[in-house]
Amino acid sequence: MGLIQNIKNLFWKGSAAVGATKSLGNITDDPRIAIPANEYERIRLAKEYYRGGFGDVIFKNSYGDRQHRPLMGINVTKMAARRLASIIFNEQCKITIDSDDDAEALWESVTAAEDFYLTYEEKLELSIALGGGAIRPYIADDQIKFAWVPADLFYPLNSNTSKVDEAAIASVTQRSEGNNTVAYYTLLEFHQWLDNSDYQISYELYRSTNKSEVGNQVPLDTLDEYADLQPQITFQGLKYPLFAYYKNPGANNRNLESPLGLGLVDNSIRTVDAINTVNDQFYWEVKMGKRRVAVPAEMLRKFPSGFGSQKAEQSHPAMFDPEETVYQAMYSDDDMKITDLTSPIRTVQYQAAIDIYLHEFENQIGLSQGTFTTTPDGVQTATEVVSNNSMTYQTRSSYLTQVQKQITAMIRAVFELAKCGNLFSDGQPRWNGDVDDLQINIDFADGVFVDKDAQLKNDLSMVTANTLSKQTFLVRNLGMSEEQAQQELSLIKSETPEPATNAELGLYGGDDNVNDQSDAGKGKPNS
């Protein structure tokens, strides 16, 4: 950083001290942000659990010395978020704009360039873990791109829990400056609706040498990447915000007025801690259960490399394989014998304990029991869990509602940007339609699973009513191919006896009328 920039920073720092410019300890200190700081402390804790930052275990060894070691936990937060994201959205999803060919072509070009379908599933996993997240379309090099905003960098400007249409988005940059100084720059991007219905984006840059503080406001051109930014940009004629927020379904019971969603561990943190504790203890149970055999110390003395009668008398020839780790030297009296010190590993008890906590965790986050625990057939796949139990199916339906809302809002934001010709180098808009006329169709394709029990009952009633073929029933509910279903129906037909004819019924007395006529004919003389 040059001398002139250092002088500017000193000037802005002095201005902040007298109130001419702003200085922030936390982003939530800005009066425009109506969300309390403890909401973001909660999100940061959820982020640590998602990262698997379990910390160390403090303990005392057998000698009474205080020790610490890493906790050998299970990252169930990552497992659950990954499982939910995979059954909610995947690359087979298809999003189309049915009302406008130009809009459809623009949308396909944007999603292809941004690899949207693969990226969305990955980012959805993080959003589910933390409780929320946002997508902000922007224009760079005349192309519409996506910025993915995690929950801890998204700050709603109001406490309306029904929707979020005004927000501040933060991005943090770290720089090494002179004299080994590390500076942290925070860009705040405020999205606000003005009284005349115009939409305004404001940019503010802050600098701090303390990672835990936002710091003092500095000019935007302090960093080269923000030098071309205008402090404020006003859009006229917009109907929708230029970002799309996602939140996990369900009410925020930590802060009833907050529009932010809850992460997976916010109401199950004690259960997650219990799972990690049990797994950690079992890990050390296995480690300490390694086979150990105590032998007299003289049996493990190494044969001396030198010569001499005294050394030879005090040593013993090697008795065991040099790579052997089972035997341990013990000092005792002359009568000590070889003793097996191996302790049994309590696998069944620990497995039962961890299954109890995993079942509790599954219930707390709305997944079917057996999602993370073993079954007689082994570990269930996500598809099997959804197909065999309705709890995951219902939970997934709730998540899909929020996903659909975010994708719809994101598409509207993309086309609102595409209409702003002044944002492109040639001054020409990339689309000229009405956002309200867009017919957005979201087909989740293979990502859509159905409740198997409900589908089976419904299809069976349709077969009975002759409104669904038996072949379709077998394909849909038993997983057969068309050919397999046809073969099965042929087997059923071959094993089913054909209905008896009238003559056969008469022969065996199955038809009273036939029998009567036959009896009446007996004894009558031929005319």
Instruction: Determine the Cα–Cα distance for residues 203 and 188; give it in Å rounded to an integer.
Output: 6
For residue 270, give both structure tokens: 């004690």
Q: Secondary structure of 473-504 in the HEC alphabet?
A: HHHHHHCCCHHHHHHHHHHHHHHCCCCCCHHH
Q: What is the pLDDT of residue 164?
A: 92
The answer to whether residue 103 scores a pLDDT higher than 60 is yes
pLDDT band at 375 (very low <50, low <70, confident <90, very high): low
Q: What mean pLDDT comes out for the span 72-76?
A: 93
Q: What is the pLDDT of residue 50?
A: 96
Strand partners, 293: 327, 340
b (16+ CB within 10 A) / e for 349-383: ebeebbeebbbbbbebbbbbbbbbbeeeeeebebe
The answer to whether residue 11 scores a pLDDT higher than 50 is no
At residue 4, what are phi and psi to the nearest 5 degrees?
A: -65, -40
What is the CB-side half-sphere exposure of residue 504 using CA atoms within 13 A? 4
Q: What is the pLDDT of residue 177?
A: 83
Instruction: Determine the Cα–Cα distance for residues 30 and 217; give it in Å rounded to an integer.
Output: 12
Residues contacting residue 402 through CB under 8 Å, at least 6 positions apart: 246, 247, 248, 249
pLDDT band at 447 (very low <50, low <70, confident <90, very high): very low
Q: Which of 432, 494, 379, 443 is closest to 95 using CA atoms? A: 443
For residue 465, give both structure tokens: 């009513």
At residue 168, what are phi and psi to the nearest 5 degrees?
A: -110, 135
pLDDT band at 448 (very low <50, low <70, confident <90, very high): very low
The answer to whether residue 367 scores a pLDDT higher than 50 is yes
Q: What is the pLDDT of residue 55?
A: 84
DSSP state of 158: S
Residue type, 484: Q
Q: What is the pLDDT of residue 343?
A: 80
Using one digit for the tens of pLDDT, what is the confidence trace for 150-187?
A: 999 999 998 776 789 999 999 999 998 877 788 999 99
The answer to whether residue 493 scores a pLDDT higher than 70 is yes
More confident: 274 or 99:
274
DSSP characters for 440-479?
Answer: EEEE-GGG----HHHHHHHHHHHHHTTSS-HHHHHHHHH-
Q: What mean pLDDT comes out for the span 332-356?
A: 81
Q: Would you say 154 and 135 are in contact if contact means Cβ atoms under 8 Å apart?
A: no
CB-neighbour burial class of residue 59 (10 A; exposed 0-12, middle 13-18, buried 19+)? exposed
Question: Helix 347-365 crosses helix 269-288 at what angle (to 10 degrees)?
Answer: 160
Instruction: Determine the Cα–Cα distance for residues 350 and 52; give it in Å rounded to an integer.
Output: 21
Using one digit for the tens of pLDDT, what is the confidence trace for 241-252?
A: 999 999 999 999
Instruction: Determine the Cα–Cα distance for residues 416 and 103; give it in Å rounded to an integer.
Output: 12
Among 21-25, 58-62, 394-398, name the one with the lowest average pLDDT: 58-62
Instruction: Determine the Cα–Cα distance for residues 432 and 96; give it in Å rounded to an integer.
Output: 18
Q: What is the pLDDT of residue 57?
A: 87
Instruction: Determine the Cα–Cα distance for residues 130 and 153; give it in Å rounded to an integer.
Output: 11
Mean of all residue pLDDT scores within the chain: 83
Q: What is the pLDDT of residue 91?
A: 82
Question: Helix 390-418 crosses helix 76-88 at what angle (to 10 degrees)?
Answer: 70
CA dihedral 476, 479, 484, 487 (to 10 degrees): -60
Instruction: Determine the Cα–Cα distance for residues 30 and 23; give it in Å rounded to an integer.
Output: 9
CB-neighbour burial class of residue 107 (10 A; exposed 0-12, middle 13-18, buried 19+)? buried
Q: Would you say 309 and 315 are in contact if contact means Cβ atoms under 8 Å apart?
A: no
Using one digit for the tens of pLDDT, what is the confidence trace for 495-513?
A: 887 766 666 556 655 555 5
Instruction: Determine the Cα–Cα distance for residues 253 and 263; give it in Å rounded to an integer.
Output: 11
Strands 94-97 and 66-70 come out as unpaired
Residues contacting residue 365 through CB under 8 Å, at least 6 positions apart: 80, 84, 264, 268, 395
Using one digit for the tens of pLDDT, what is the confidence trace for 385-430?
A: 555 556 888 898 899 999 999 999 999 999 999 999 999 999 999 9
For residue 375, give both structure tokens: 């079954």
Q: Would you say 39 and 255 are in contact if contact means Cβ atoms under 8 Å apart?
A: yes
Q: What is the pLDDT of residue 317?
A: 57
Instruction: Determine the Cα–Cα distance for residues 476 and 457; give it in Å rounded to an integer.
Output: 12
Instruction: Determine the Cα–Cα distance for residues 65 and 522; give it in Å rounded to an integer.
Output: 113
The answer to whether residue 109 scores a pLDDT higher than 90 is yes
Q: Would you say 369 and 386 are in contact if contact means Cβ atoms under 8 Å apart?
A: no
Strand partners, 47: none
Strand partners, 155: 168
pLDDT band at 295 (very low <50, low <70, confident <90, very high): confident
Among 100-114, 335-349, 410-424, name the one with the lowest average pLDDT: 335-349
The answer to whether residue 523 scores a pLDDT higher than 90 is no
Q: What is the pLDDT of residue 527?
A: 40
Q: What is the pLDDT of residue 478?
A: 82
pLDDT band at 384 (very low <50, low <70, confident <90, very high): low
Longest Cα separation, the chain: 140
Q: CA 326, 329, 331: angle at the middle one, nearest 5?
A: 150
Instruction: Determine the Cα–Cα distance for residues 393 and 376; give it in Å rounded to an integer.
Output: 22
More confident: 34 or 449:
34
pLDDT band at 325 (very low <50, low <70, confident <90, very high): low
